Amino acid sequence: MTALSTQQVELAISGMTCASCANRIERKLNKLDGVTATVNYATEKAKVSFAPGVDTAALLEAVEQAGYSAALPKPKRPKGTDPEQVAAEAPCVNCATD
């Protein structure tokens, strides 16, 4: 039953302004059933493994619930339209409430 292969996706995260942000997102994603995530603050990427049946939309939602933005990787990304480059500078809400 758990023999089905997991899938992997690398999400582009924006809105992280300190390293704790990465930890917060990581915890949030790992709370989801069948999801294992590692978030890299420096590269603004989340490496996510998820069991079959997990919807990638749920991954994006979890990140957004934590106060950040997530996007699925786009195979073709024209230069200059990279959404990662419009990441906000302001501290996230979590910093204030921590």
Binding site for ligand 9UX (CB under 6 A): 17-18, 20-21, 24, 91-92, 94-95
User: Distances from the Cα of 48 to the Cαs of 27, 36, 68, 70, in angstroms?
Assistant: 12, 6, 16, 12
Instruction: Give the C-alpha separation, 23 to 48, whole Å.
Output: 14
Closer of 54 and 59 to ligand 9UX (Cβ): 59
* Least gap, CB of 7 to ligand 9UX (angstroms): 27
* Least gap, CB of 10 to ligand 9UX (angstroms): 20
Nearest Cα residue to 9 out of 43, 41, 51, 42 = 51
Closer of 6 and 17 to ligand 9UX (Cβ): 17
